[in-house]
Chains A and B, each alone.
Chain A
Amino acid sequence: MEFLLENILNLVGFLVGLIIGTMSLVGFRNTGSPTLFRLTIAFFSISVGFFVIWSGYMLEDFVIQSGSIERWIQTLGIGIQTVGYFFIAFSHSIKSFFPKSRYFRSVGVFPLFLVSSVQLEHIFRSVSFILLAYGAIETMLSYFENKNKGAISVAVGLALLAFGEFLGWYSFVFPESILDHVSTIIKIGGLILLFIPVSKVPLTKIKFDDNFDDLK
């Protein structure tokens, strides 16, 4: 059961990250926007992170067959994902600091309370939680400014990923409990919510004519 859920999560994460990362890359190549460049790095990192963990599970399942995934592979994958979450949060911090914002400073004190373990995986999960929570809050705030419904889906998606990371981190306290499965299912839901608004962005090339009113 754990392997099945983890495989679904990692494959969904890999695909969602790859698709959004590719769309961001196309956007960056067409517009040269630094924001889209940061999103490209973010989602490609998230995609690679999920792929590394999925590879670890496949390796364990078909080659090593020890009963549990190699810890360093899991840590590496989570670490790469954390880099991706950092770039999402970083994009928001640039937007918020210029003009300045108080939110980042208030969220920035959280690591002092959360990073208490010496294990890298715990630290990565804690940092991921903070970055995802920050990204979710900033995205929700942008919804209140722009009323873009897609932002709600992304904000809830990031919030679910944050909650999933939190439960995943908490399952270290209660290993082999249902918390781990719940965490995985919540994260799958979060990834799907991230993808929904992005899937509606039309990327097909439209022929130019004299009527550009639909672009206004």
Chain B
Amino acid sequence: MTEKINENGKTKIRVEDFNLFYGKFQALQHITIEIPGNRITSIIGPSGCGKSTFIRSFNRMNELIPGVRTEGRILLDDKNIFDIDPVELRKQVGMVFQRPNPFPKTIFENIAFGPRAHGIRDRRILEEIVEKSLKQAVLWDEVKDNLNKSGLALSGGQQQRLCIARALAVEPEVILMDEPASALDPIATLKIEELIQQLKEKYTIVIVTHNMQQAARASDYTLFFNMAENRAGYLVESGKTTDIFTNPKNELTEQYISGRFG
């Protein structure tokens, strides 16, 4: 049984009965969902319910952890991600983390790093990519005269947009964001949310957030995860964000978003 949540009919990622184990501990159980393309899907749920583990599965980041085992399938444009070379997969599925983590290099080098790793050497092309990525991340105007300054010299909000620009530089199709604004002040947070709205024109975005209002403000679809009795994360409810936050169908969702647990 597949949970259908998308109205535009374009499915970017299809998760089929996905299970994930850390050794003997099951972290995710029986997750089946379609993530719509060119839309923003947020994942909410209490701490430890497997939200981050779930999105890290999309670019096989969990495999870097010893003892991880998975069952089921995850399809990116109908292609099983476990059949795709991880380096190629991570080019298609980029990631932005909770704390901005620019490399201790110049702004320019932060962005050029990915394209270089994928074999682009021509300085002019790299310059174009850097400019385009920074523009898409709405950071260009603030840094264009200081491209040789260290990425670490930027403010927290700017650093996070730099990390988004870095993710965009390799022209991914999907961008995963794990609490991208939780370390930022309200203005920087709103800037990131606005940026995400613009990015959905070209990219599919999946965002994990603890901030209910952020999920309500910034996403088109919402998935609510919870922890089962065996502490494995499972999908409780999915749907349009406007429905989930005004009239959820599941009592657990209602309780969680109203602050009764979690």
- Physical interaction between A and B: no
Residue ranges of A at the interface with B (Cβ–Cβ < 8 Å) = none
